[in-house]
Chain A
């Protein structure tokens, strides 16, 4: 199952886990699975229309999904998905 790296601000949803594995063959399906296991997390990543929020970026390996097929980007079991939000503090 693809591995998902959870950023610091969202770990309160994953009981502090920095990495979780979630089944799915596209980024969108994985994010839906993430929401099933950790309710509330998806609305921090996607807006009401289901699009990735402007201050969040999602990578499969090193690749920005906006340069691929966005949430329809295919993922393999060996892939690592990273959720990277802009960090505001200073």
Chain B
């Protein structure tokens, strides 16, 4: 545990609490990836930042905040716009003891990260949050079901309500981000958490655990199935983030 590395993709609503949760869970080596800047309208759920950080790159503000909390922390800010090429080289450069946390707000990117982690033999935790709830799943490719065993693909933009339109409760992002950190630390410790999807809705406070079987022909984990098709990435859930990243 002491030496393991955690790579957090996205330093927004899920990434901020996930980073705090990793620190609380004893992580000492963290990489954080984001190409966006801190936006005043997201501060309610992006709990690492304050008004003084508005306009600053998220990875810089997050790194500063986490170092203040834990001076011995080895943290690497990675200001990178993720696409298939940059993500592939980023994952190829990770040490074998890395656990990836997918905290972005892009539906297509979540699946791309999942698939490329499989190719690079890295365990990961995938999460998503919207309105009052969301879901998280730990995946170790080859051990139990993968995310594509549960969901064959990402929702198209016209059927996925945008976070900008429906909002995200700060406490929901917090609960799911901490849950993701917990799952990442547990994966790293070798606990039996891989392959279970946990869905949580703060309005009913009845977490749902789904432990699906591996699906024959799953493009995410069946070595005999064709690799999932990767098109260009669709828009982020919050369109303002997408605009910032493409600048």
Contact = CB atoms under 8 A, between A and B. Distances in A.
Interface of A: 5, 7-9, 18, 44, 53-57, 59, 62, 64, 66-67, 82, 84-90
Nearest to B152: A54
A74 to B, nearest CB: 19
A86 B151 contact: yes
Contacts of B26: none
A10 B129 CA distance: 14
B151 A90 contact: no
Contacts of A57: 150-151, 210, 212
Given A8-B133, A18-B203, A55-B154, A89 B213 contact: no
B14 A90 contact: yes
Contacts of A44: 159
Nearest to A9: B161
B103 A90 contact: yes
Interface in B156-175: 159-161, 163, 166, 168
A90 B125 CA distance: 13
B159 A8 contact: no
A6 B160 CA distance: 16
Interface of B: 10, 12-15, 103-107, 110, 127-135, 150-155, 159-161, 163, 166, 168, 197, 199, 201, 203-204, 208, 210-213, 215, 237-238
Nearest 10 Cβ contacts at the A-B interface: A87-B128, A90-B105, A88-B107, A54-B152, A55-B155, A89-B237, A89-B130, A54-B153, A89-B163, A86-B151
B222 to A, nearest CB: 14
A65 to B, nearest CB: 11
B104 A62 contact: no
Contacts of A9: 130-131, 160-161, 166
Contacts of B107: 55, 86, 88
Contacts of B210: 57, 59, 62, 82, 84
A67 B163 CA distance: 32
Given A54-B151, A54-B152, A55-B153, A90 B237 contact: yes
B154 A8 contact: no
B129 A89 contact: yes
Given A18-B203, A64-B213, A84-B197, A90 B155 contact: no
B213 A88 contact: no
A5 B131 contact: no
12 contacts: A5-B208, A8-B132, A9-B161, A54-B152, A55-B160, A59-B210, A84-B210, A88-B128, A88-B155, A89-B130, A90-B10, A90-B237
Given A86-B150, A87-B129, 7 more contacts: A8-B201, A44-B159, A55-B159, A64-B150, A84-B199, A87-B130, A87-B133
B21 to A, nearest CB: 15
Nearest to B147: A86
B130 A88 contact: yes
